[in-house]
Structure 1
């Protein structure tokens, strides 16, 4: 081509970056740098796509495998109310054990052995001062993600230094190296995992549907993916500041022109918002401002942050659009589910009707009052272990909190299902509800009226896992709870007892071990669940069930007289509740002739010197239970303080032995199913 001839150029589209003009007309060093830059960008987009393909493939494998295993192991038990008793009387339940084939030992034994081995290594807490009360399995998943991001932050790049003269500025040179290319790569990866962070925080979680893991279990990964995005963003900003302020020239003209560009203004805003979200998410800030403030500001800041990221680099706006769509879908799904649940025909009126909950208050000036809610609602039964978000319009329509129903999901007359909830009023919304209950109770007493006070309740849900999925008559059950954590484990025990007859016929076992261990501060705390304790008493004569209540804040001196007094108090409370609650919790027919004193053992945690041990050694309790089982695997259900859950994880992990399970000794197949919402 002759000198001075016009060079025809054309543009080549590159996903995630500017279209490139070819052929390159700059100096050779600059052209070589641009070749390396666009090539690394293309590979970065490929690596981002591979990351998502791997994630989708793993989720599908887990979903298919989970449904296959559950279909082999599960014998679903269906409860229906068949009583013809008069209104207000307890209705016995009947159940039907649906027969399914058990997986052959040739298949199930290796799987159970592998699961036991995995639990022995991956169930205990990891490095607690770094990750908190998080299992090694969760940390392993995080580590795999970090390793992938680290590897593909560095591979597929040309490592070199390119020095180019600056046009119209003699003796001024621009140093270009791989730092800018690397900075762009980590920026691409940060954009790519942003929708993943939103997905991990969704209540209407697709991940939960596919894996069966409750959405709250993904909270750990949501936090740490956020930390990763923060680190990537900080490094991205620092590197480009060094390049544009120190390596490119002429200065300061280049730096001033760079920092005032529109994409840079958006980038600085995004960086500020990300740092602000991180600061407000620190533990001391949440304690200072309150969880509701953190939650609402986090939503707003996150959405504005996504918008500024889109403005910063519109070529990667697809990732931000995915994040926004996931968030809006989650919010819309919540509203739609709530509207469908409450849009009913009540009292001749078709429309949105909240439930009317009866309030019962158990005063506790030292640790916060405990409130109990009881109501019936027209809906399909949920699964044991699932929970609802409850909103109390009398207090605030802008807040809702998760609570696990204490009652069994039994479909009664006229399609009504009984809900019962117990929670401690520590502060915030729960404290307002306790104060409301106290005022309503005082009003009814002053007016001389007998009905229990009520308050409207709006439900969202159910959410969470089916905690008894895969449990058949050959599995030993140990339920451990601390305080109001009883709401998670008690329905498991009630369902286990009510399905025991048919389960025994199916499995051929009559030596199944069933035990409830409950830790409370005071003996009177047992009044929270007097109706449910009556259900346990009704079936205790037929089944091998034990109930142990540890009292952690009272001194020794428990005798038979005290036990009798407690039984009488529980009995009187039970009668009072039945008189005011016509839809009392359904119970089994009482043919055992036993009393609560026959099945409940009270134990004091005080030492011989009078000092009070706050909590019993739950690890030893689990070991003793497993050691006394005759045969079969064991499932431990637990809900309570974080320290208790950590101790249980360690103990259960130590009891698992893949080698022994492989040899046919299923006693060493011990699983822990926990309610891990309590440490939020």
Structure 2
């Protein structure tokens, strides 16, 4: 039972008399027990069961965290001591390395695809497996170690009887597990995530587990509350006196408050409610109410405050580091003034419009510590609101020299803050014929590096503004001579061909790199291999493929192929005269070039499987392949399924690294 000896009402009602006790036996997380027991035999046997169940409950919470700690330790050791690939392509890789890569390939094959999309949309099997394991542990050990027995004991100075069962111990068990899960839930939600630091997994990939561990705690808290209500309002006598005395106690009031807070957190985190209240209300209220919930849990049962202290520590650390990051970027000498102060960054904003909406291109240069390729920042636009921030990935590559970094962001304007930003840029643009400037506040960087120093082949697939994530990874691989990537390809899926203007300067620079790219020999990897190792490795092989999904205008400018097919392709042999309606800038960007092609689809989605098959068959000779991608969630589903299917479990061990394909997916788009 959950009793607090410091509560006068509870002490008077407790079947143990602490005031006249000869000695007390200490229990961690529970009131001390009076020994020897002076009650009737049934009550003493019941107390034996109560304290034994509590001891087992504490043991189960420690075991849970020992398992979590052990898994994290194994991941850390694997990251520190994993075998690395030898740089020489012709040298056979070591047995430990091949075993490691075979295990990685098998894991991706079976755990990377998505399952149960109706219940868990856009969620990998690995995440579902972790959730299922956590649910199984909580369920099994909620019932194991419970005393399933009933005692009917007399009530002093009354003709009534109490019915004492293991129901209270069971309710305490699920309550203790809920408390022990709380630090994990908080750790899964923080941006400066300790779990990301230990595992190398970006923090946003923990959001699914954060939501569902929170829901597990919600269910556990309701079970705890309902079952103790049954005990106090039904099984204990006389009523309603026992229940009235019970519900008035301070720790019970705090319990009711905590239950209200966690119910609020659940209801206002539902997608339909978020759409109704707005995402920023969700973020701010979620943070504030979560802190209040932790405080209320502490007030409800301070003997297990260690779990709440750990949770508050993680929450405070995340907020503190967030403030520190902002200060490191924005605190400095103000322009034209002496002394230190807070400086917002002036950014230049350009808008692009097409039938699908508006796109914002934002650029600025600011002197601060560079980020790692693949990381992202949270941007706040003070001209609109200082209370909202959104995550965006820089489409630019961080500098390697000691020069101020230049940020470029490709942002899709939606109904919220980004829509207001586009409207602000458009209204200011009409007043003056130049790029609009607006202040920006950065927080970050967050996430982990997306660079793989061992992958020989790199395929970047981007859908729409997902180009922000794929572009810097691809650019770094193409321009960095030390990069191991030798076969590089960009596939950018856009709705309208005019969308290429979003990354006009970057696309022009990449097309210039195509001049020095090794040509595809007959478009066949076997032919490349037959040409000799010198030609294969003399320079990087790089090509760009643009896929346009909505291009009705091509029907009047491109002759249909003789054989029936769905895709109409404008390759390097096509003439720019086919696009009279496009601006001069777009015509220059889509100008024919070796290893550059544009494919037009008739309002259809491209086949991700054929993209990967073509890349592997036409360019990959040997070595590992990495697929980096970003875009709509449905694109991520297709990519995960295709990559998983191409992973061959046994082939890697035999030395065929073509079946070793990993996937880095990022769904944060502008």
1:612-623 counterparts in 2 under 5 A?
612-613=603-604, 615-623=605-613
Residue in structure 1 matched with residue 630 of structure 2 by the alignment: 639
Q: Among 114, 123, 131, which residue is 2:112 paired with?
A: 123
The aligned counterpart of 2:598 is 602
Distance 1:377 1:103 in 2: 46
Secondary structure of residue in 1 paired with 2:294: helix
Please point out which of 190, 193, 212 is paired with 2:200: 212
Cα distance in 1, alignment partners of residues 369 and 645 from structure 2: 40
- Which structure 2 residues correspond to residues 503-652 of structure 1 after superposition, within 5 A? 503=483, 512-543=486-517, 544-555=541-552, 556-557=554-555, 559=558, 560-561=575-576, 569-570=584-585, 597-606=593-602, 612-613=603-604, 615-628=605-618, 629-652=620-643
Equivalent in the alignment of 2:31: 18
Aligned to 2:657: 666
**1:335-358: CA deviation from partner (whole Å, max 9, x where unpaired):** 011101222335354432222111
Residue in structure 2 matching 1:305, options 273, 283, 293: 293
- C-alpha distance in structure 2 between counterparts of 1:59 and 1:457, whole Å: 37
- How much has 1:431 moved relative to structure 2? 1.1
Question: 1:49: which partner in 2?
Answer: 62
Residue 363 of structure 1 deviates from its aligned partner by 2.2
Pairing 1:387–2:341 present:
no
Give the Cα–Cα distance (whole angstroms) in 2 for the partners of residues 425 and 158 of structure 1.
59
Query: How far did residue 228 of structure 1 move?
Result: 0.4
CA deviation map 1:195-247 (0-9, x unaligned): 11111100111111111111101001100100100111111111112222221
2:465 to 476, 484, 498: 484
1:461 equivalenced with 2:444 (yes/no): yes
Q: Which protein has greater RCO, CA pairs closer than 8 Å, 6+ apart?
A: 1
- Residues 534 and 74 (structure 1 numbering): CA distance in 2 closer, same or farther, change over 3 Å? farther
- C-alpha contact (below 8 Å) 1:126/1:136 kept by paired residues: yes
Q: Is the 8 A contact 2:468 2:669 kept in 1?
A: no
Contact kept? 2:85, 2:93, Cα under 8 Å: no
Residues 259 and 193 of structure 1: is their aligned pair in 2 closer, same or farther, counting only changes over 3 Å? Answer: same
Q: Secondary structure at the match of 1:672?
A: strand
Alignment of 1:173-212 (within 5 A): 173-212=161-200
Give runs of aligned pairs for residues 31-180 of structure 1, distance below 5 A.
31-69=44-82, 72-73=84-85, 104-170=93-159, 172-180=160-168
Change (3 A) 1:399 1:658: same
Q: Hey, what does 1:237 align to over in structure 2?
A: 225
- What is the CA-CA distance between 1:185 and the residue it aligns to? 0.6
The answer on whether the counterparts of 1:488 and 1:675 sit within 8 Å (CA) in structure 2 is: yes
Q: Is the CA contact 2:93–2:655 (under 8 Å) kept in the aligned structure 1? A: no
Q: TM-score, normalised by structure 2?
A: 0.86
Contact residue 389 and residue 459 of structure 1 kept, 8 A: yes
CA distance in 1, matches of 2:376, 2:190: 15
Q: Does 1:495 align with 2:484?
A: no
Task: Decide whether the 8 Å contact of 1:379 with 1:415 is kept in 2.
Answer: no
CA distance in 2, matches of 1:295, 1:653: 34
Conserved? CA contact 1:176–1:247, under 8 Å: yes
Contact 2:82–2:100 (8 Å) recurs in 1: no
Question: Contact 2:632–2:667 at 8 Å: present in 1 too?
Answer: no
Deviation of 1:323 (Å): 1.1
Q: How far apart, in 2, do the equivalents of 1:528 and 1:62 lie? A: 40
Cα distance in structure 1, aligned partners of 2:388 and 2:21: 63
- Per-residue CA deviations over 1:591-650 (Å, capped at 9, x if unaligned) read xxx9654443222220xxxxx22x212233223322332222211111011111011111
Q: Which residue of 1 aligns with 2:411?
A: 423
- C-alpha contact 2:379 2:443 (8 A) present in aligned 1: yes
Distance across 2 between alignment mates of 1:45 and 1:376: 54
Identify unmatched segments of 5+ residues in structure 1: 1-5, 76-98, 575-593, 607-611
Determine if the alignment matches structure 1 residue 401 to structure 2 residue 414: no
User: Is structure 2 residue 644 aligned with structure 1 residue 653?
Assistant: yes
Write out the 4+ residue segments of structure 1 that deviate beyond 6 Å after TM superposition.
571-574
- 8 Å Cα contact 1:642-1:678 kept in structure 2: no
Superposed, 1:283-302 pairs within 5 Å as 283-302=271-290
Secondary structure at the counterpart of residue 449 of structure 2: coil
Q: From the superposition, tell whether residues 116 and 122 of structure 1 become closer, same or farther in structure 2 (CA, over 3 Å).
A: same
Q: CA deviation at 1:476?
A: 1.0
Superposed CA deviations along residues 394-439 of structure 1, whole A, max 9, x for unmatched, are: 1111111110000111145x63111100101112111121112112
CA RMSD of aligned residues (A): 2.5
Deviation track 1:470-529 (CA, whole Å, cap 9, x = no partner) reads: 344xx2111111110000001111111112x4457xx9xxxx432111111111100000
Q: How does 1:321-470 map to 2 (within 5 A)?
A: 321-345=309-333, 347=335, 349=338, 350-364=340-354, 366-411=355-400, 415-445=403-433, 450=434, 452-470=435-453
Partner Cα distance (1:476, 1:385) in 2: 17
Residues 106/74 of structure 1: CA separation in 2 closer, same or farther (3 Å cut): closer
* Residues 548, 598 of structure 2: 8 Å contact kept: yes
CA shift at 1:466, angstroms? Answer: 0.5
For the residues of structure 2 that align with 1:399 and 1:280, how far apart are their CA atoms?
18
Is the Cα contact below 8 Å between 2:334 and 2:342 reproduced in 1?
no
Aligned ranges for residues 245-264 of structure 1 at < 5 Å?
A: 245-264=233-252
What is the number of residues matched between the two proteins? 608
Of residues 28, 50, 55, the one that matches 2:41 is 28
Answer yes or no: is the 8 Å Cα contact 1:537–1:595 preserved in 2: no
Which SS does the other structure have where 1:369 is aligned?
A: strand
CA distance in 2, matches of 1:471, 1:363: 40
Secondary structure in 2 matching 1:329: helix
Note if contact 2:624-2:661 (Cα within 8 Å) is conserved in structure 1.
yes
Task: State the distance in 2 between where 1:494 and 1:213 align.
Answer: 23
Quickly say closer, same or farther: Cα 1:563–1:532, change in 2 above 3 A.
farther
Partner of 2:254: 266
